[in-house]
Amino acid sequence: MNTRTDSSAVFRSIGTPGRPWSTAEREQWRAAQQCRRSYADDVMPRVDRLRDRLDVVTYGELTYDGETFPLLCLRSRGWRDDRPLVLVTGGVHGYETSGVSGALRFLEAHAAAYVDRVNLLVAPCVSPWAYERIQRWNFDAVDPNRSFREPSPAQESAALMRLVAPLKGRFSAHVDLHETTDSDESEFRPAKAARDGEPFEPCEIPDGFYLVDDEENPQPAFQQAIIDAVARVTHIAEPDAQGGIIGSPVVAPGVIRYALRSLGLCTSITGAPYTTTTEVYPDSLRATPLQCEAAQVAAVCAAIDFILQAAGTGD
């Protein structure tokens, strides 16, 4: 069941059209956000159940208006310098449910097949406050996935960058798990326009899975390997009439490219040669929640399989 709601009436009633929000208007937006699910109930118990197989590390803590959220990552044991290092992140946007559940499902069902061949680092829910409110932004009405830069305006992004910093340059791959939803167009993009005092320009939501490659370091074979694996689980997004997906040219079936570093995106933080952002479409009539989760898992497995083959250590 789709648990999202269109809160367009909330943000359209805030502030003055054409003027960016002030602190008071951000507080008005925040006051309208309601807790609709529980990080402590949904995510933390699944992490705890993995402690017998993986090390659980608290890499930071968020405190917002008296609420505290431990930021958790899981790390495979027995790290060796001769193994590829892989980062998997989910829930950078808290409302993108399959990113969180997909990261956890990968750990539960598939990590054991890889822990003797790669060093794994997985942060399944980067934005727990937003997870609970099914929101894209954090407590401060800031988008964490445009905040991976120094100094970061988002606590969530800053904490993940601190986790990664000692290992930067050693990563082989980073897979960041996301969704593109109907609420992007009905709620979150209009909200951003209102917050920033800009006109809202409609965009077509693609029906299907797609990937975001790095404009500065394109890796077409890597992206294709993931597309091929996911296509066995769910359908791949087709280009729109202009040959694009969400305003970007399609460079290969189901693949677009962004300037990751200049946009402050999560997949810019590791320096890994192979990076990708997954985009599942959970509102499709052709996909179920289980398929969306399975697509995220397939993407992670395909990414790891690719780097193992590239390193000559695959099956």
More confident residue, 103 or 6: 103
Query: CA distances (Å), 101 to each of 122, 125, 211, in order?
Result: 12, 9, 18
Of all helices (H) and strands (E), which one includes residue 289?
A: helix 289-310
pLDDT digits over 21-64, tens only? 999 999 999 999 999 999 999 999 999 999 999 999 999 999 99
pLDDT value of position 13: 73
Cβ atoms within 10 Å, residue 79: 15
Q: Find out whether the peptide bond into 151 is cis, omega within 30 degrees of 0.
A: yes
Q: Which pTM was predicted?
A: 0.95
Listed as own residue / partner, the contacts of 64-71 with beta carbons closer than 8 Å and 24 or more positions apart are: 64/129, 64/138, 64/139, 65/139, 67/129, 69/39, 69/128, 69/129, 70/44, 71/123, 71/126, 71/128, 71/156, 71/159, 71/160
Find the mean pLDDT for residues 193-205.
94
Of all helices (H) and strands (E), which one includes residue 64?
A: strand 55-64
pLDDT digits over 124-168, tens only? 999 999 999 999 999 999 999 999 999 999 999 999 999 999 999
pLDDT value of position 83: 97
User: Chain-wide mean pLDDT for the chain?
Assistant: 95
pLDDT digits over 225-243, tens only? 999 999 999 999 999 999 9
